[in-house]
Amino acid sequence: MKPIIQSAINISTSDSKVVRDMVNRLSLIPGLIMADASSDVDHNRTVISLLGNEKSLPGGVRVIFEIALQTIDISHHQGEHPRMGAVDVVPFTPWGG
């Protein structure tokens, strides 16, 4: 069994169309599990939590970055949460193994 890695990616949008596009594209990646996606309109922020291995997880992260860079204009961002970019937190946490 390959080690599981978790990543709770913070995205600077709560736009449901953008999040839905990400979720739909992530569902096409073999071996990747989307554990959660939650958006907060007041903070204009979404966290997508992924579970995968060293092969599937990088593909999921890449999809999120591709869509974020095409759709999020950080210069027009409104929201209570501080932000560094369209995607600004990408932690990797190993689970077991």
| C-beta separation of 29 from 64 below 8 A | no
| C-beta separation of 8 from 43 below 8 A | no
Task: Classify 44 as helix, strand or coil.
Answer: coil
Whether 76 is catalytic is no
| C-beta separation of 48 from 80 below 8 A | no
Residue holding tokens 């839905």?
A: 20
d(CA 55, CA 24): 19
Query: Per the residue annotation, which of 43, 76, 77, 81 is the catalytic one?
Result: 81
**Catalytic annotation, residues:** 81
